Amino acid sequence: MMKFDNYAVFGQPISHSKSPRIHKLFAEQTGQLMDYAAQEVPAETFAAATSRFFADGGIGLNCTVPLKELAWQYADQLTERARQAKAVNTLARQADDSILGDNTDGIGLLNDLTINHGIALKDAKVLILGAGGATRGIVPPLLEQQPSTLIIVNRNIGKAQAIAEDFAALGAVQACDYANLKDRQFDLIINATSASLSGDLPPLQADLLKAGGSCYDLAYANQATAFVTWGLANKAAHSLDGLGMLVEQAAEAFFIWRGVRPQTSPVISLLNAERALNNTNG
Ligand code: NDP
């Protein structure tokens, strides 16, 4: 009998997760024998569930809300980008049974922005809305692209300041509150708040986006999110949601686990086509 290697995503809630489908498509595309399951795991039982998963032969695990910081604490070793992010979305069992923690969210966003959509970051004025775990993951790879400005705006300004201070050595990054965005304009606005999940929008003035600028919502949904709709209403050249980032971060995790890099564009196209069909039928 053929042996399938075991992978999973843990989170709460998890039933909406597209990760099992994405990894199944990657496995089919690259001929890898692997199972990938979604399991509802609350923070309280994360450590026990993760130890059981690896003790039972599991090889790789994705962790999503609200488990990324716990996964960061759980890992025996961290990649540099995970150490910086203080959050882990990918755990990988090593040959000596130790557990490596990585964070592929930042590279996932970068690949979607620059490779899939051709959005240039060098010398761009970039604004990030929100200062949670996702922002920590995306700031270092964005700074590597040398934007002229990177501003993090958050309701709780202290959280934005803490991230700006932590990454000050990597490039020009500043914190700001929403009231002080007046009279500023950006080439790229990235929504890394969780507001879209409840259909909300942070307080944004209409002229915040430069002519020809782009909007990117890390959140994704079957319908356009409130922020994607805001971008379209403000004539963004691109107004994108985070489905592409989700597929790209999954591809990086797949590469860490299997040493094979899947092609992402056919998977993104398929998921987008399914979403369009759902919307037509729904
Ligand atoms: P966190 O809970 O860590 O942070 C949430 C942030 O959103 C905080 O800064 C909070 O501000 C802010 N916020 C929440 N509601 C509002 C609102 N109504 N107005 C203004 N600000 C608000 O979440 P994460 O950083 O983990 O995730 C952020 C988003 O990114 C989520 O939508 C998540 O689904 C998405 N994501 C997508 C990925 C992908 O692959 N596409 C990968 C990772 C994340 P405050 O601090 O002031 O409370």
**Distance between Cα 179 and ligand 1 center (Å):** 19
Residue 1: the pLDDT is 67
Using the structure block, give the residue that is written with the tokens 């909007």.
215
CB of 163 shorter than 6 A to ligand 1: no
137 touches 87 (CB < 8 A): yes
> Please, what's the b/e burial string for 42-76 (b: 16 or more CB within 10 A of its CB; e: otherwise)?
eeeebeebbeebbeeebbbbbbbeebbbbbbebbe
**Distance between Cα 54 and ligand 1 center (Å):** 29
**Distance between Cα 171 and ligand 1 center (Å):** 23
Residue 280: the pLDDT is 77
CB of 145 shorter than 6 A to ligand 1: no
Give the global pTM: 0.96
Residue 100: the pLDDT is 98
CB of 133 shorter than 6 A to ligand 1: yes
Residue 52: the pLDDT is 98
**Distance between Cα 31 and ligand 1 center (Å):** 35
CB of 11 shorter than 6 A to ligand 1: no
Residue type, 125: K
**Distance between Cα 135 and ligand 1 center (Å):** 8
Mean pLDDT by 10 residues, the chain (282 residues): 89 94 98 97 98 97 95 97 94 98 97 98 98 93 97 98 95 96 95 92 95 97 95 98 98 98 98 88 64
Residue of 193, 247, 252 with the most ligand 1 atoms within 8 Å of its CB, for mutation: 193
3-state secondary structure of 72: helix
3-state secondary structure of 216: strand
Catalytic positions: 68
CB of 90 shorter than 6 A to ligand 1: no
Residue 93: the pLDDT is 98
Nearest ligand 1 atom, CA 131: 9
Residue 282: the pLDDT is 59
> Please, what's the b/e burial string for 242-261 (b: 16 or more CB within 10 A of its CB; e: otherwise)?
bbbbbbbbbbbbbebbbeee
